A and B are shown apart, each in its own frame.
Chain A
Amino acid sequence: MKRLSDFIGIRPCTLIYLLLISFSLATFLVGKLGFSGLGMSLLVLLLALIKGHLVGSYFMGLGGVRGVWRWPVFIWLFIPGILIGMAFYLSYQ
């Protein structure tokens, strides 16, 4: 089965790089355009966690690792992600 990067004709790491740049620009625009609120904050946080997962899996190479070493970065993203999300949720209550 062909991967998306094969179909487009660029390296997988280049595709990930372009995704990271796009998500960062989207995050910047949210701030620049003055969007705020719980929903927007959680969306920006979700984008950041996806970016972190892409870096961990594809740039750090953990996506191809089997066993316990596949998960540390994912867990690292998950725990602060939950705590930050919870703190922002509580700030709107």
Chain B
Amino acid sequence: MKADRSVSEINYPPGDLAIWIFILAELTVFAIFFAAYAFTRLQHVELFNEYQLTLDREAALINTLALITSSYFVVRAVSAIKVDDRRRCVYWLLAALCMGMLFLLVKSWEYVHHYSEGINLSSNIFYMFYLSLTFFHFMHVIMGMVILVAIAVMAARGKYSRQEHTGVESGASYWHMVDLVWLILFPLVYVMR
């Protein structure tokens, strides 16, 4: 029995297999979005380069650092539960949630700023991609935070342990996926020209 468990741990990714199917489906959608952005830019290079300069790169950097830091905190939360340290696991998850909240606040501030300037999906094709791509990701951050809250509550109630922490690993994998997507989105939309 023990041997079977060790084999399954090596051959399968951390967390529930179902969350990985979901993650791969999400990643595929984002990949199509990224390719569509890059090939549409090909037809409107000057327009994309001009309007990219109107974006707030400092805000995007803060958001990048916030997501990377939150992912790191989630890694520490998983490490904590693996040694049965539930209290520390909850603290790391709460710290990750704070970073997620920072991301939402900064991104919302950007959206408010764009809205006040009269920018919307119909403004031009660059803003159409920028707003839809970042808002789609924004919704995934919210979804990831809901999952992190759920696993933090479960961890606080003692539902996870060194032996059984699949839920923590599943939630962590989803959150890392959110981070992973932003790591491509940030240079593609804000920097590459």
**B12 contacts which chain A residues (CB < 8 A)?**
65, 69
**A56 contacts which chain B residues (CB < 8 A)?**
176, 180
Q: Does B38 contact A (CB under 8 A)?
A: yes
Within 8 A of B (CB), among A52-70: 52, 55-56, 58-62, 64-67, 69
Q: Does B24 contact A (CB under 8 A)?
A: yes
Interface string of B30-59 (1 = CB under 8 A from A): 010011001101100100010000000100
Of the candidate stretches B61-69, B107-115, B141-149, the one touching chain A is: B61-69
Interface of A is mostly: helix
**Residue of B with least CB distance to A23:** B183
* CB contacts between A and B, total, < 8 Å: 126
**A14 contacts which chain B residues (CB < 8 A)?**
72
Name A83's contact: one of B38, B64, B76 (CB within 8 Å).
B38
Within 8 A of B (CB), among A40-93: 41, 44-45, 47-49, 51-52, 55-56, 58-62, 64-67, 69, 72-73, 76-77, 79-80, 83-84, 86-88, 90-91
